[in-house]
A and B are shown apart, each in its own frame.
Chain A
Amino acid sequence: EAQVTQNPRYLITVTGKKLTVTCSQNMNHEYMSWYRQDPGLGLRQIYYSMNVEVTDKGDVPEGYKVSRKEKRNFPLILESPSPNQTSLYFCASSTDGSVNEQFFGPGTRLTVL
């Protein structure tokens, strides 16, 4: 089954404790992206990647890191999480981020205390 998977689905952590949210897709897509969803703010793009070793900032990259060492995986790293990063995070993939639809993962709900 074609899908985007994220782990963990739920995470509660404390300020400053480094964490990684994994994202994997099995559709051989070149494009992958991370978003955060907050009430009243909609979806905001954090980082995106057009291919292996090619990443670029979205609208809200501060406090986040990403890497794209292999095509199927696109982990999101929070080196020193803060409470304002409490949010619902979505990973997505596509053959082309501009012209083709994105396939979204189920989401990761992160709480930073």
Chain B
Amino acid sequence: AQSVAQPEDQVNVAEGNPLTVKCTYSVSGNPYLFWYVQYPNRGLQFLLKYITGDNLVKGSYGFEAEFNKSQTSFHLKKPSALVSDSALYFCAVSNSGGYQKVTFGTGTKLQVIP
């Protein structure tokens, strides 16, 4: 069975500081990893994904994530946080097995403090 862990319910960061939102995963076979963001009263929006290739992937709104196979992690990062980045962030995993089942984490609320 595949799983995703987001160990922090909430992350607080000052505006302008770098931010990290953590994600670890467990899956059989090659992992496909995603980050989504949810603003209040909205559906989820795709930020970035790792399928294969370069371990550092860049996405929307200046976000990036680093795939670390040995640590089974896919942490979301941004060099300089904006107040408008405050939202709920979800990590998700699927795999190369062909079943297309997707497992999401419990979400991390990011609060950027002005």
Interface residues of B in 65-101 (CB under 8 A from A): 90, 92, 94-96, 98-101
The reply on B13 being an interface residue by CB < 8 A is no
* CB of B99, distance to nearest CB on chain A (Å): 7
CB-based nearest A residue for B52: A99
Q: Is the CB of A50 within 8 A of B100?
A: yes
Q: Could you say which of A11-19, A38-46, A69-77 contacts chain B?
A: A38-46
For A4, the chain B residues whose CB sits under 8 A away are: 43
Interface residues of B in 33-68 (CB under 8 A from A): 34, 36, 42-46, 49, 51
* CB of A98, distance to nearest CB on chain B (Å): 4
CB-based nearest A residue for B105: A42
Cα–Cα distance between A97 and B94 once the two chains are bound (Å): 8
Q: Is the CB of A107 within 8 A of B101?
A: no
The reply on B102 being an interface residue by CB < 8 A is yes
- Which of A35, A98, A104 makes the CB contact (< 8 A) with B94? A98
Specify which of B32, B36, B44, B46 lies most central, judged by the most chain A CB atoms within 10 Å of its CB.
Answer: B44
Specify which of B42, B43, B101, B103 lies most central, judged by the most chain A CB atoms within 10 Å of its CB.
Answer: B43
> What's the tally of chain A residues with a CB closer than 8 Å to chain B?
29
**Interface contact tally, CB-CB below 8 A:** 69
| A102-B46, A104-B45 as given contacts; A58 in contact with B107, CB under 8 Å | no
Q: Is the CB of B102 within 8 A of A102?
A: yes
Cα–Cα distance between A48 and B99 once the two chains are bound (Å): 10
Cα–Cα distance between A42 and B9 once the two chains are bound (Å): 10
- Which of A41, A97, A106, A107 makes the CB contact (< 8 A) with B102? A97
For B99, the chain A residues whose CB sits under 8 A away are: 56, 98
Cα–Cα distance between A63 and B99 once the two chains are bound (Å): 22
| A101-B46, A106-B42 as given contacts; A45 in contact with B102, CB under 8 Å | yes
> B residues near A, CB below 8 A?
6, 9, 32, 34, 36, 42-46, 49, 51, 90, 92, 94-96, 98-107
> A residues near B, CB below 8 A?
4, 31, 33, 35, 40-45, 48, 50, 56, 58-59, 90, 92, 96-107
Sorted from nearest, which 5 A-B pairs have the closest CB atoms?
A97-B100, A104-B43, A42-B106, A101-B46, A43-B104
